[in-house]
């Protein structure tokens, strides 16, 4: 029998867990789990999601042993893979991350702008804790594949605080955009070969090949007119929430103004921030949409299944989100050297960016981790944008580690979504109060 794997999902109570488990079990012939452990610090939430995970295992691989636990030793002992997807502070804190900046007419977003900086200050120490559990209990060749956001700040902080940890930080946004591109180009997502550079949630596609064929210019022409919204009949994207449809459509405005490269959708928050704020509802943000949508749906489904024994699981199967993390894990497990966009220490890969930047670029995923491709020099506009954002992220990591108010204020002030140091200080001071149970003390 080929090797089987013990896999932990950190943040087992996540709305994405059933979808990730489905994607894992789809690969059981190549990537067989002996044990799946859900680990969370919120037992009741995890137990509810666990009801649906148990159903997914019954449906797709009943041989898998399922463990739900809040005990780190039980969760991590001899673990081979750890999928991390914590939301420190839950959606309630995401709501504040989004609403506090909007009070000052600044972008309110989960991972970008002041919301992302606040989220980063909450997540750094809990992520270190997970790494330390893995170092203490997991198999010596463990790999953490991390989705926990804000991945850019988490990646930078973990490299500084735990440089030897076997952790690979990933993001499904570029993959989701490539899914849309595959709908637009009428090809298979897995045939798309992207050239790309940036930081997490702050990057650009420089070339899109389908197999050997360069289809970049054709795609740019489409995106200039339609953004990343595929033609009606070709994609499940049409069923996304309205705010996501707006995000995909908004790429056309970025493409028209900055025609060199195809943007990550997150660039809208940094380059079109005033428009974003103008169209934001300060009393009902994306966090509210998710709490009233995805989060409510999954707990209603668990309730329904527990009472009726009936459930349609398909709405919880998450497409590229689950597929991507499993593709990366399998490449690590079997040394497949698959080419994926992941976060890696720059070390000259992007020639004119700082060596210590955590860049998101194409890498070959080996059993020893990502091998970066060489991107070369990037044009001035993109270099300037990235260096400002990278310095902001570097300063918020240092602020967390040193407990430095001054560095936190500098980080907020450097963020392109924030118009002045005065506004930065107002938002920071209000966020310090809102996050008093989560942030390191800043003096
Ligand atoms: N990297 C990406 O591209 C990507 C894509 C999607 C989601 N995400 C991230 O994945 C995470 C989960 O998203 P979600 O919407 O499912 O969140 P969610 O709130 O539904 O679930 C998160 C879970 O994490 C748990 N948790 C919080 N702190 C913890 C800790 N210290 N230890 C263990 N568990 C802890 C919570 O109790 C909760 O059950 C978020 O950080 C989100 O931003 C990242
Ligand atoms: O606003 P959300 O919680 O729906 O999504 C925020 C995340 O958006 C990107 O990931 C996914 C998203 O999780 C999924 O719901 C769907 O909308 O598509 C997105 C792209 O696949 C982003 O990569 C994550 O970092 C965000 O947390
Ligand atoms: Mn992401």
User: Which tens digits make up the pLDDT trace of 85-135?
Assistant: 999 999 999 999 999 999 999 999 999 999 999 999 999 999 999 999 999
Q: If you average pLDDT over residues 47-58, what whole number do you get?
A: 97
Please report the atom of ligand 1 found closest to the CA of residue 147: 1
Q: Regarding beta strands 213-214 and 262-263, do their DSSP bridges make them parallel or antiparallel, or are they unpaired? A: unpaired
How confident is the model at residue 1, as a pLDDT?
57
Ligand 1, closest atom to CA 14? 21
Residue 235, pLDDT above cutoff 80: no
Q: Which residues line ligand 1 (CB under 6 A)?
A: 10-11, 13-16, 40-42, 45-46, 85-88, 90-91, 126, 147-149, 151, 171-173, 321
- For residue 332, CA distances in Å to 33, 81, 127, 365 come to 15, 10, 20, 6
Percent of the chain whose pLDDT exceeds 70: 98
| Distance set, CA 366 to CA 21, 47, 327 (Å) | 23, 35, 12
Closest residue by Cα to atom 3, ligand 1, is 171
- Each residue's pLDDT tens digit, 394-426: 999 999 999 999 999 999 999 999 999 999 999
Ligand 1 pocket test: pick from 19, 50, 85 the residue with the most ligand atoms within 8 Å of its Cβ: 85
Task: Write down the catalytic residue from 16, 228, 266, 270.
Answer: 266
Residue 286 among known ligand-binding residues: yes
Distance (angstroms) between ligand 2 centre and the Cα of 150 equals 12
- Specify whether the CB–CB gap between 80 and 7 falls below 8 A: yes
Tell me how far the alpha carbon of residue 141 is from its chain's centroid.
Answer: 24
Sheet strand arrangement including 338-345: 338-345, 358-366, 369-372
Residue 406 annotated to the active site: no
Per the CB < 8 A criterion, the answer to whether 287 and 15 are in contact is no
Nearest CA to ligand 2 atom 4: 290
DSSP code of residue 172: S
As for ligand 2, residues whose beta carbon falls within 6 Å of it are 110-111, 149, 171-173, 176, 240, 244, 286, 290, 320-321
172 tagged catalytic: yes
Specify the range with the lowest mean pLDDT, choosing from 298-307, 380-389, 424-433: 298-307
**pLDDT at residue 82 tops 60:** yes
Give ∠ CA 72-78-82 in degrees, rounded to 5.
65
Confidence of residue 4 (pLDDT cuts 50, 70, 90): very high
- For the cut 90, the answer to whether the pLDDT of residue 319 exceeds it is no
Q: Per mean pLDDT, which range of 19-23, 132-136, 211-215, 318-322 is the poorest?
A: 318-322
253-275 pLDDT tens trace: 999 999 999 999 999 999 999 99
Helices 113-137 & 151-161, crossing angle to 10 degrees?
A: 40
Q: What is the pLDDT of residues 288-297, one digit of tens each?
A: 999 999 999 9
Ligand 2 centroid distance, CA of 173 (Å): 7
Instruction: For residues 60 and 26, give the distance between their C-alpha atoms in angstroms, rounded to a whole number.
Output: 7
pLDDT at 236: 64
Distance 253 CA to ligand 1 centre (A): 31
Could you give the 3-state DSSP secondary structure of residue 350? Answer: strand
Q: What local confidence, expressed as pLDDT, does residue 233 receive?
A: 62
Q: How far is the CA of 236 from the centre of ligand 1 (A)?
A: 23
Q: What is the pLDDT of residue 377?
A: 98
- Residue of minimum CA distance from atom 6 in ligand 2: 110
CA distances from 118 to 154, 378, 389 (A): 12, 30, 15
- In this prediction, residue 381 has a pLDDT band, given cuts at 50, 70 and 90, of very high
What is the reported pLDDT for 313? 86
Global ipTM: 0.98
The whole-angstrom separation of Cα 154 and Cα 119 is 10
Q: Give the pLDDT score at 171.
A: 98
Gap from CA of 148 to ligand 3 centroid (Å): 9
Please report the pLDDT score of residue 237 as a whole number: 59
For residues 438 and 318, the model is more confident at 438
Residue 391 has pLDDT above 70, yes or no: yes
At a CB cut-off of 8 Å and minimum separation 6, what does 196 contact? 174, 203, 204, 205, 206, 341, 360, 361, 362
Q: Rounded to whole angstroms, how far apart are CA atoms 96 and 108? A: 9
pLDDT of 240 over the 80 cut: no
Ligand nearest to the CA of 177: 2
Encode pLDDT of 296-311 as tens digits: 999 999 999 999 999 8
The pLDDT score that the predictor gives to residue 315 is 82
């Amino acid at each position: 029998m080929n090797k089987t794997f013990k896999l932990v999902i950190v943040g087992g109570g996540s709305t994405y867990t059933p979808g990730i488990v489905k994607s894992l079990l789809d690969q059981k012939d190549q990537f067989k789990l002996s044990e799946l452990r859900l680990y969370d610090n919120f037992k009741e939430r995890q137990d509810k999601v666990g009801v649906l995970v148990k159903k997914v295992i019954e449906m797709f691989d009943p041989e898998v042993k399922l463990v739900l636990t809040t005990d780190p030793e039980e969760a991590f002992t001899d673990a081979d893979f750890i999928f991390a997807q914590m939301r420190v502070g839950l959606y309630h804190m995401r709501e504040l991350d989004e609403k506090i900046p909007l009070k000052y007419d600044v972008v309110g977003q989960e991972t970008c702008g002041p919301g992302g900086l606040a989220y980063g200050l909450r997540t750094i120490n809990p992520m270190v804790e997970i790494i330390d559990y893995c170092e203490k209990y997991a198999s010596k060749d463990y790999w953490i594949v991390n989705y926990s956001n804000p991945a850019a700040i988490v990646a930078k902080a973990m490299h500084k605080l735990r440089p030897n940890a076997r952790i690979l930080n990933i993001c499904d946004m570029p993959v989701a955009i490539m899914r849309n591109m595959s709908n637009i180009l009428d090809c298979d997502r897995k045939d798309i070969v992207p050239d790309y550079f940036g930081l997490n949630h702050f990057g650009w596609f420089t070339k899109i090949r389908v197999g050997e064929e360069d289809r970049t210019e054709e795609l740019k022409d489409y995106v200039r007119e339609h953004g990343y919204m595929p033609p009606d009949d070709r994609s499940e994207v049409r069923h996304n929430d309205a705010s996501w449809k707006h995000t995909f459509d908004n790429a056309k405005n970025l493409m028209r103004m900055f025609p060199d490269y195809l943007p990550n959708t997150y660039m809208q928050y940094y380059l079109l921030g005033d428009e974003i704020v103008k169209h934001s509802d300060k009393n009902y943000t994306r966090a509210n949409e998710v709490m009233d949508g995805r989060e409510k749906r999954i707990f209603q489904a668990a309730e329904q299944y527990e009472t009726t024994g009936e459930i349609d699981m398909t709405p919880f199967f998450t497409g590229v989100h689950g597929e991507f993390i499993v593709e990366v894990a399998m490449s690590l497990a079997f040394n497949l050297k698959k080419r994926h966009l992941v976060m890696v220490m720059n070390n000259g890969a992007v020639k004119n960016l700082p060596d210590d930047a955590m860049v998101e670029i194409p890498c070959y995923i080996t059993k020893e981790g990502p091998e970066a491709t060489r991107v070369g020099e990037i044009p001035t506009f993109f270099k300037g944008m990235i260096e400002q954002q990278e310095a902001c992220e570097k300063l918020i990591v240092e602020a967390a580690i040193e407990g430095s108010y001054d560095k936190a204020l500098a980080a907020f002030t450097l963020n392109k979504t924030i118009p002045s140091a005065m506004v930065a200080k107002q938002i920071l001071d209000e966020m310090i109060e809102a996050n008093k149970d989560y942030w390191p003390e800043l003096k």
